[in-house]
A and B are shown apart, each in its own frame.
Chain A
Amino acid sequence: DIQMTQSPSSLSASVGDRVTITCRASQGISNYLAWFQQKPGKAPKFLIYAASNLQSGVPSKFSGSGSGTDFTLTISSLQPEDFATYYCQQYNSYPLTFGGGTKVEIK
């Protein structure tokens, strides 16, 4: 199974900050990586696919990059609605696996 490791597990940031979350795969997954945002008590929301492609309707302040084993999600200017937990997921092979999540909190 491919293990997905996210770092940090949590971070505190201020409105307007640039935030970067890292996701590392235990083996190469090409660009078969997706990112999701989840707010408390809500279902995950799909943000990015193929490592760097924004889902339609997702604000351009979100961006993704990477290939192989190392990936990043960047939020260019953090807004109040962005405080949430973010998950990466590999879909290169079964079983599909998620990272442990990164909780973005208000400083």
Chain B
Amino acid sequence: EVQLVESGGGLAQPGGSLRLSCAASGFTFTSYWMNWVRQAPGKGLEWVANIKQDGSEKYYVDSVKGRFTISRDNAKNSLFLQMNGLRAEDTAVYYCAREAAGSSFSDYWGQGTLVTVSS
């Protein structure tokens, strides 16, 4: 069974940092691109970033470029999102999601971790 479990969310001050983690199990992690998708309270879904199987390619939405960094540790079946320079508009539930093989939509999602940016 595919499982994705996010952690690391919490309260951060504007300009602060947080590092999100996603522990993956139930599939061959090294075979899949992985994504972060977020959802602000009461709002829709927003794709944030994704990363290739070996970490050699990464893509980001413009609003987080230069502030967020996606990475992975294939030895530990883990995905990360380092978030620096946090802003109030980054407040959201952050979902870790697996991309379907050979495509760019996400077929499995974690339950999400809430990030709140507030002073």
Contact = CB atoms under 8 A, between A and B. Distances in A.
A95 interface: yes
B106 interface: yes
A46 B37 CA distance: 14
A87 interface: yes
Interface in B37-83: 37, 44-47, 50, 59-62
Which interface class (under 10, 10 to 19, 20 to 34, 35 or more) fits B?
20 to 34
A interface, over-half SS: loop
B62 A95 contact: yes
A14 B59 CA distance: 42
B1 interface: no
Given A45-B109, A95-B60, 16 more contacts: A1-B62, A34-B105, A44-B95, A44-B106, A46-B106, A46-B108, A46-B109, A49-B103, A49-B105, A96-B35, A96-B47, A98-B44, A98-B45, A98-B47, A100-B44, A101-B44
